Amino acid sequence: MNKVIFIGPPGSGKGTQASLLKENLDYFLLSTGDLLREEMKNDTNLGKEIKHYINNGLFVPDEIITDFIIDYIEKNELHKKKVVFDGFPRRIAQAKALEEQLVKYKRDIDCVIMIDLSDDDIIKRLSGRKSCPSCKAVYPADKSNDICDKCKTALIKRADDNVNTIKKRIKIYNKETFPLIEYYKNKYKIFKIDGRENIENTHSRIMEIVSNNE
């Protein structure tokens, strides 16, 4: 399996699962949210332009995000690599732009993994989570300390992980990203996963899917 797309509402664990796939099966991880947050941290022109959208739980407009990601794919020659896409595409227009980019190199998406979670579970999970600004690891609210287990950096709470912004992100996900699943159903193999499962079980299920579809 060469190009895998993860889709899921905020807090479904898709970022964590995409990182595990990177660690265990040597995938290149394209995490759109992490790349954008890095731009904000470095206060680049793009970072300044997108800050308002991200901190308010809004999508970065297609023209900005698509140019940025397609350029990133091109620079890193991702058409040649095994890639897990986390957070891109999030809209049908973005999916079409990605397809066009891959077709240029006679490549295609191999499968789509969708992690599902109810609105209540999303709010419960996100409103307390903490993340590592350095290695990007994510931890649940009940973690006993605020230090990253992997790299010992002090953990932070994401600016967009507050209840109002989370509700906005869920609404936008349902309106903008959910139709993408219908679009992909007609094109690729799509696997639906229950996001309530713990990290290990979900990872095993994903490994099974990816291995069985090599």
Is 14 annotated as catalytic? yes
Cβ proximity to ligand AMP, 177 vs 202, nearer residue: 177
Out of 90, 125, 130, 136, the active site residue is 90
Cβ proximity to ligand AMP, 42 vs 144, nearer residue: 42
**Between the CA atoms of 95, 123, 168 and 3, what dihedral angle is there, to the nearest 10 degrees?**
-10
Cβ proximity to ligand AMP, 50 vs 148, nearer residue: 50
DSSP alpha helices (H): ranges in 56-91?
Answer: 62-75
89 by Cβ neighbours in 10 Å (0-12 / 13-18 / 19+) ranks as buried
Closest approach, Cβ 63 to ligand AMP, in A, equals: 11
Query: What is the pairing mode between strands 138-139 and 3-7?
Result: unpaired
- Minimal CB distance to ligand AMP: which residue? 33
Closest approach, Cβ 107 to ligand AMP, in A, equals: 19
- In the complex, the residues that contact ligand AMP under the rule CB under 6 A are 10, 32-33, 36, 53-54, 57-60, 65, 87-90, 94, 160, 169
Is 3 annotated as catalytic? no
Phi-psi region of 43 (alpha: psi -120 to 50; beta: other; left: phi over 0): left
Tokens of 176: 């903008």
Helix or strand or coil: residue 105?
A: coil
Out of 81, 129, 189, 205, the active site residue is 129
Is 196 annotated as catalytic? no
Cβ proximity to ligand AMP, 1 vs 7, nearer residue: 7
Closest approach, Cβ 33 to ligand AMP, in A, equals: 2
CB 50 within 8 A of CB 64: yes
Tokens of 126: 């996100």
Cβ proximity to ligand AMP, 1 vs 122, nearer residue: 122
Distance, in Å, from the CA atom of 1 to the CA atom of 19, rounded to the nearest integer, reads 16
Out of 22, 125, 130, 158, the active site residue is 158
Closest approach, Cβ 39 to ligand AMP, in A, equals: 10
Out of 14, 22, 125, 136, the active site residue is 14
**Between the CA atoms of 70, 75, 78 and 83, what dihedral angle is there, to the nearest 10 degrees?**
-80
Closest approach, Cβ 214 to ligand AMP, in A, equals: 27
Instruction: Provide the annotated active-site residues.
Output: 14, 90, 129, 158, 169
